[in-house]
Structures are given as structure tokens and as C-alpha cells.
Amino acid sequence: MAGSVLGRLRRVRPPRLRSWRGALAASMLAGALIVVGVLIWALKDVPWRDIAAGSLKPIIVLETANGAPLVRQGPYQGSYATYDQFPQTLIDAVLSIEDRRFMEHHGIDIQGIGRALLRNIQAGSVVQGGSTITQQLIKLQYLDSDRTLKRKIQEFVIAFWLEWKLGKQEILARYLNSAYLGAGATGMPAAARIYFNKDIGALNLPESALLAGLLRAPSAWNPIDNFEGARQRTSVVLDTMVANDKVTKEEAENAKAGFAKVHPTRPTPRSGSWFADWVSPQASEIAGASPGSTTVRTTLVPRLQQIAERVVKNVLDGEGKSVGASQAALVAMTPDGAVVAMVGGRDYRQSQFNRAVTAMRQPGSTFKLFVYYAALKAGLTLSDRILDAPIEIDGWSPENSGGGYRGWVTLAEAFARSLNAATVSLAQEVGIDNVIAAARELGINAPLASTPSVALGSSEVNLLDLTSAYASVHAGKAPIEPWGIIDFHAADQPKAFRVGSQSQPNVDLSQYQSDLLGLLQLVVERGTGREADPGAFAAGKTGTSQNNRDAWFVGFTEPLVAGVWVGNDDDTPMKGVTGGELPAHIWRQFMREAMAEPTPDTAPSSTGAIAGGEGAPLSCNITACSRAYRSFRPSDCTYQPYGGERRLCER
């Protein structure tokens, strides 16, 4: 019995022990509840779905007609590259200098944190960080930079989740596409283009090491502003690659020795910057809010653009100085309106204002084309006569350039000699409203005053529209609308879409085309435009506004239509400059050089495909589709019907 009592006593636990264990369990439960509560509080607003999908911001990558990159000035981000597109030397360099245990840890590198902490203690300051590439990606794309408890918890949890959800290759690819690397370049593809004018896959070892070294401090080691600092930093990266067995010591030493051959260049306005500014709004409309990169192939022909920029600069630097002409603009297009070259001023670095598109100036006698078109429509012929004599209308008396009058002249002679009095008389005969209607038919949309002086170009227009109107004469149909996008391809779409011209000309000019061509050709052969003669078929018209403030030449050869304006931004007069001088000289030089080689295979055509190349399989009339369907999405040319899946717009 004593043994039984003793056994019962042994089974009875002391009250203090039971109380301690109960308190411990309660504390653990409370702690767990607190941790869960903190996690719920910290993670409730994390956009998990967006993070998993990538939530790539829309990137528009412009290309020239032959597929070369068209890089704008300022911030630049190239097309997103996949993991397989990055060269192994770049991957090895980045991992060696930024996160050498990247392939081993699970988003948070405990060893790296400990190692960084020890070195910082030894140095007495922060000399090394312990964040992984996964954590850096989270900071770049998903979280703000606040140093709060909530943010640290989010970063810790998201890092583990990303590693599980995406995997190493996708995390690294996203990081390399989103890191800032100085000089306006975001992402390694953009940096390769900005610093070396190369595709990302073409980087060699020293170039890869240089870009990897920029990740930590792009401003401090920018190779353009601090070449020596970049060289030293690149040497550190190469030494680290040797320590990680990614390159041999000999390879690293050779790369260091050849670093002087690395020639990063300061980003300057690339050829076609004014054109890129003009076409970008339409490209943005096409891309919409679609995540990822949309590659937009434009109509710009690099060879013609370079000729246009050089000719404008040379003429202004030469003849322009002596006659007080400080600015010029040039637009060149194919007869169907595909803009192949655009110069908006003397120097894009000094002024981004696009004088070819935005500036509204008086076109002078180039507007006479519409007067004579109206006359032909009214039944007159080029051999009919009009009186060139003093005329007064409500106190206004137009005078011919140089004074003097020629009496009765044919319409052809009046146009070729650009006789003002005869032209105003003709406009009065056919009716000012009919002259304005003729201008509208050929594509002039600017406000036009219904006054007699409109016949002499007193109402302002822009160079692009005026050149397009002359393209209508060349094409024999109107209106020809200028266009700049051939096709586009979104990264998440399996097909590309043609764009091309977004309007269909609805006026047949064939009845009047021969006479209009004859008038314009006569100007170049025997009239005011003789200085524009390129030595081949050419037709066009000169124009000069009052007091020589604006001078123009607009016309065409067989393959190209081009317009040139010369003047000053402050509207001050030039020293006697007329359309038959500086503008004609610029036009002639451009056309001669442009026609020196056959029209390239990369010239855009009205079908939206590249002449001689393989066209995109599907057409997309963005203008018509957006008007027809409120749910239209340009990025894949689809709309949402009332029932079923989205459908391709085939308008």
C-alpha cells in the first residue's frame, strides 16, 4: 500500500512545474499569434499576382526601316532580354561582384549577411552590403525604399517566395533588365547600346566586367565621366571573377591590358531624334498599357536621315551665316507619305523644337499650287491667259518680286515665274473659297483665312503638311497623309502587325495630275526653282514670305518628295533670301546624294511591308479600329465583342 501511495505521489506534478509549462505554452501561442498578425499586417497589401507576372512596365523600342535601333536622347530602356540572351561573361561578372552565392541561397544569404557584418565591424563603417540579387530586384521593382519594419518583413518574405515561384534564371533576367547603369540607361540591353552601340549578346569580357561594375554605383564609375574609376572598378570585377573560377588569371590580365580599347561614348542625339519625337506618341498609342516591350519598326531610312542632317548643317554653317539664316527644317517622304527623313532644326542638342512639324510659318508662293489646282478644276487650261498687272482689293495691292508686271501671260508662265499679281487675279476669278477647298483636298488642315492674300500664302502652315500636299500631286491621289510606323510586335504576342498609312486617299487627281506635274517641272527647268535642279527629273515650287522671313522649296523627284524651310525662330528677316536660293540649295544637295545610290531595299512601301523583304502577316488599321470599337486594344489589334473571346479587328 505504501508503494501504491508513493506511485501516486510520483505521478502528481508539482503545481509550480505545471504553471511554468502552461505559461510557456501560452507565451508560445501568443508569440505565434503576434507573428501571424505582424505577417498579415505587413503582407496584406503585397501585389503577389503582379510580382509573379513580372508587372513589366510598357517599353517602346523604336527601330529604323532596316531594323536598326532608333535611340532617343534622354532616359532609354531597350527591349527586355531573356536569360539566354545575356552572354555568359556578363552573368559570371554580375554574380561574381554582386552575389557569388546566388545559385546556392534561397533569396536571403545568411552567410553573406554575416560576412558583411564582420567586415563592416572590422572597418568601423559600412563597406559591404549583404543583400542578394533577389533582394535588389525587390527594391528595384516592387517595394519603396523606406527603411521601415513593414518593408523589411515584406522584403524578407517576398525574397523566399520569388525564389520558389520564379527560379534563379528568371530572377536574374528581371534584375539585369531593370537595374540603372548610368547615362540614362536602364537595363543591361540599354547600357550595351548606349555605351558600346552593341546588342547585349555581343558584349566581350572587359565590356561585361565594366557594366557589372556599374551596378553598385553607376554615377561614381560612369566610364564616360570617370574613365579611370571605371577601369579600376573593372579590374576589381575581373579579379573577383578569377577568385570565383569564372575566368583564368591570364584571361583577366589580358582584359585589363586591353581595357584601353574599350571606347564607351557619351550618349548624343542619335540620327533621327526629331523623327523619334514625332513618331513616339503614335508608338505609345499602339503599345498602350501592354506590359513588356513593344518593338515598333518605323519608316526612317538611316542613310537618308544622315544625308539630310549633314546637308542642313553644312548649308547653314556656310551660306546661312552671311545671309542671317539660323534655322532650317527638312522633311523627305516616299510618294505615299512614308517619312524617311526629318530634320527639325540646326542642332537637336541645342533645341529639340521640331520646326518641321510644330512650327507654323507663312508658305509664300508654295501655296500657289492650290490656286492653280482650283483653276484647273474650274475648267481653265495652262495655255489660258491671265493679266499680270497692278491690282487693288480693299486697299491691298500685291506686288511681284523685283517689281514690274508682264501683262497677259499664260497660267503656265505665271506659275513658273511666281507672278503674284497674276496669281491673285486668278484666285479672284476662281473664288477664294474654291482655293481653300483645293488646299483642303490636297491635305492642308491648318486654319486658312478667306482673304485675297491667302493666294500668296499669308496663312500659316507647317512643313510636314505642305510636303504631304505635294506628295498628293506626285501620287495622283489625295490626301496623302504622312506616316511613320511600318509594323509592330509586342513581346507577349506571337504575331506582328502591319500599320502603314492609316488613311486611304479618296480624291482622284488623275484628271489634273499631268498639268500640275507640268507646272511644277517648269518651275525647276525655267522658273524660280532652277537652283534646285538635281540633274534628273524634278518638280517643285519656291516660296518666300513677306520681308524674306521664310523661304521654302517643296518638290519631288521620281523616288522622293521633300520640303525645305529656312528662317529664324524670332521671325527676323533674312538678307534677301528667297525660296530659290538656300532652300533650293539644300533640296538639290539632299536629292543628289539621296539618288546617288539606288533606292534601298529597306524603303518603306504603302502596304506597310518592306520592299524586297518579308512583310508582317497581319494588317492593323489602328485609326479605323479605334473609332469602330471602344474596347479596341492596339497592342494586339483586337476588340471585345458582346460575347466570346476577343477578336482581331479586320477593318
**Percentage of the chain exceeding pLDDT 90:** 52
Give how far the C-alpha of residue 303 lies from the chain's centroid of Cα atoms, to the nearest Å.
Answer: 18
CA distance 105 to 99: 10
CA dihedral for 9, 14, 17, 21, sign (positive or negative): positive
Cell matching residue 221: 564609375
Phi, psi of 490 (to 5 degrees): -85, 145
Rounded average pLDDT over 583-604: 83
User: Under DSSP, is residue 469 helix (H, G, I), strand (E, B) or coil?
Assistant: helix
Q: Please tell me which residue, 321 or 263, carries the higher pLDDT value.
A: 321
Q: Please tell me which residue, 111 or 169, carries the higher pLDDT value.
A: 169
- The whole-model pTM stands at 0.79
Residue 171 — pLDDT band, cuts 50, 70, 90? confident
What pLDDT is stored for residue 609 in this prediction? Answer: 41
For the cut 80, the answer to whether the pLDDT of residue 582 exceeds it is yes
What pLDDT is stored for residue 120 in this prediction? Answer: 45
Q: Spell out the residues 6+ positions from residue 575 whose beta carbon is closer than 8 angstroms to its own.
A: 322, 323, 324, 548
Residue 153 — pLDDT band, cuts 50, 70, 90? low
**Which of 10-14, 87-91, 107-111 bottoms out in mean pLDDT, i.e. has the lowest?**
10-14
What pLDDT is stored for residue 286 in this prediction? Answer: 79
What pLDDT is stored for residue 168 in this prediction? Answer: 87
**Which of 165-179, 465-479, 513-527 bottoms out in mean pLDDT, i.e. has the lowest?**
165-179
182, burial (CB in 10 Å: exposed 0-12, middle 13-18, buried 19+): buried
- The per-residue pLDDT for range 384-428, each reduced to its tens digit, is 999 999 999 989 999 998 788 999 999 999 999 999 999 999 999
**Which of 266-270, 315-319, 441-445, 626-630 bottoms out in mean pLDDT, i.e. has the lowest?**
266-270
Rounded average pLDDT over 478-496: 84
Rounded average pLDDT over 274-291: 82
What pLDDT is stored for residue 92 in this prediction? Answer: 95
Q: Specify whether the CB–CB gap between 331 and 467 falls below 8 A.
A: yes
DSSP string for 105-138: SSSS-HHHHHHHHHHHHHHTS-------HHHHHH
What pLDDT is stored for residue 143 in this prediction? Answer: 57
**Which of 57-61, 86-90, 608-612, 624-628 bottoms out in mean pLDDT, i.e. has the lowest?**
608-612
**Which of 26-40, 168-182, 624-638 bottoms out in mean pLDDT, i.e. has the lowest?**
26-40
Mean pLDDT of the chain: 83
**Percentage of the chain exceeding pLDDT 70:** 79
Residue 223 — pLDDT band, cuts 50, 70, 90? confident
What pLDDT is stored for residue 322 in this prediction? Answer: 93
